[in-house]
Amino acid sequence: MERITGAEALMRSLEHEGVDVMFGYPGGAIMPTYDALYDHRDKLRHILVRHEQGAVHAAQGYARVSGRVGCAIVTSGPGATNTVTGIADAMIDSTPIVVICGQVGVAMLGTDAFQEVDVVGVTAPVSKWSYQIRSAEDVAWAVSRAFYIARSGRPGPVVLDFAKNAQTGMVDYEPAHVDFIRSYEPYPRPKEQDIIEAARMIDDSVKPFMLVGQGVELGDAHAELKELIEKADIPCARTFLGLSALESGHRLNKGILGMHGNLGPNVMTNQCDLLIAVGMRFDDRVTGNLATYAKQAKIIHFDIDPSEFNKNVKVDLSILGNCKETLKAVTAHVSETKHTVWVNGFEPYDEKEYNKVISKALYPQEGPLLMGEVINKVSEATSHEAVLVTDVGQNQLFACRYFRFTKPRSIVTSGGMGTMGFGIPAAIGATFGAPERTVCMFCGDGGMQMTIQELGTIMEQQAPVKMILLNNNYLGNVRQWQEMFFNKRYSFTPMVNPDYELIAKGYGIPARTVTDRAELDNAIADMLSTEGPYLLQCAIKEEDNVFPITPPGADVDKMVLE
């Protein structure tokens, strides 16, 4: 064994875990670690962000498209607290990341030392595990345990608070390998009787309906999902985070669930006789009024996290386990069948929504540009093969509705937290997690200003993010709610915006602004053919609203179409 510093042990431990990219920002309390990183630059690529929140969102984007653990490294005090929003975002959206924060030396803890903050106390409620490394001897074990916890079971964020004396202290280094933690069962074995009962319920069903969540993506269960739904002829709808779990064009894919989802899936939720939820948590934006949600149906819930069972919706059967395993097991027991009448029953609702909403959103004949038509044209121009990254707001809702998917791990969006400013840094991370793919990031004028400093990261790295700014000079989603539910009292939602094209060019990023529909196709082609990053700003109709919508607290099938 070689005697090395704790900081050097961290570098070797990260390499041992297969880390190749990390996103970070140096500072005083993490400086010994950054000094050690200087000698590992050939194996550990460090991306200097412009704000610590950007480091965590970039790690999220990397993790979501690659299926690996994202890694962020920051200093103590404000560096650490600036990561909290991203950590909380990763927690609720089950994204595997490890965040390493500098900390003052153990002897200084509790003295209100410069840039001291209780990182473990702050992050423990919003992380899967938060641990303070107090000595160099703990480094290898803590890193291995952190990555194991982050990626296993239901994934999530882990925080390592790295005391300065642990960074500079000496240790006889030996790599650690943690693959077992007492009382932690990340991959519970499903019960055979539950599998058989689920198959029986599916066989007995006349009108089965499946809700597909991100658990299918996280469990790499895409093939198993398709095998089951095709054998049992079960129509599906997806959550936002599960959008690319099943390709958009699949005959049994009936659209999106929830508040801004499609009409057919929401109506059929309250008409099916069997509701099958896979890797989703019955979020309130999906269920609407719980008192009337799917009361006519038997409900089966597949999930790897037992805490999700009966949390929001009471179910008849819980299937605990990794859905890659449980879906396959159920498929082996179900009978091959057809539900032609039931599957075709979605068509009248699809036609109604197309005529009243979709055709107008995608194919306007006059007036200002609409978000839907821009998103649709970008998706078509990429042959529906790009990674979609969104910020939060109307840009997110329109993008999730009208971007189409042909490949798994193609959606990166902030679901449970709804974090404005997520888009730009998450897209940077996605370009490193899937360098072979086109990354298209949609954002609004509000969200872009929240992390606009990350244009500096894009500039330095030449990260090939195709940024589509849907600029309506409003905080658009809040404005829509003010229009619909607050008597058009637009309280502090109009935006006075800078010249985004000029700002982008100041960062050396090619940019173009489109105000005329006739220019749109050419502008998109220019963006996609330009090597490296690009900003395409589209001047959008200010009163462009997202429909359909289930009003907050309303029954899920009581959608407003216009």
Q: What is the pLDDT of residues 20-58, one digit of tens each?
A: 999 999 999 999 999 999 999 999 999 999 999 999 999
Cβ atoms of residues 92 and 54 within 8 Å: no
Q: What is the pLDDT of residues 511-526, one digit of tens each?
A: 999 999 999 999 999 9
| 3-state SS string for 379-441 | HHHCCCCCEEEECCCHHHHHHHHHCCCCCCCCEECCCCCCCCCCHHHHHHHHHHHCCCCCEEE
Largest CA distance in the chain: 73
Q: What is the pLDDT of residues 82-126, one digit of tens each?
A: 999 999 999 999 999 999 999 999 999 999 999 999 999 999 999
Q: What is the pLDDT of residues 243-262, one digit of tens each?
A: 999 999 999 999 999 999 99
CB neighbourhood size of 223 (10 A): 12
pLDDT of 189? 93
Mean predicted confidence (pLDDT) in 285-298: 96
Cβ atoms of residues 172 and 1 within 8 Å: yes
Q: What is the pLDDT of residues 170-208, one digit of tens each?
A: 999 999 999 999 999 999 999 999 999 999 999 999 999
DSSP string covering 115-169: T---HHHHHGGGSSEEEEE-SGGGHHHHHHHHHHHHHSSS--EEEEEEEHHHHHS
Work out the end-to-end distance of the chain between its first and last CA atoms, rounded to an integer number of angstroms: 69
Mean pLDDT of the chain: 97
Indicate the SS3 state at residue 514. strand
pTM of the model: 0.97
Instruction: Categorize the per-residue pLDDT at 1 as very low, low, confident or very high, splitting at 50, 70 and 90.
Output: confident
pLDDT of 274? 98
Structural tokens at position 491: 């309280």
DSSP class of 451: S
DSSP class of 288: B
3-state helix, strand, coil in the chain (%, to 5): 45, 20, 40
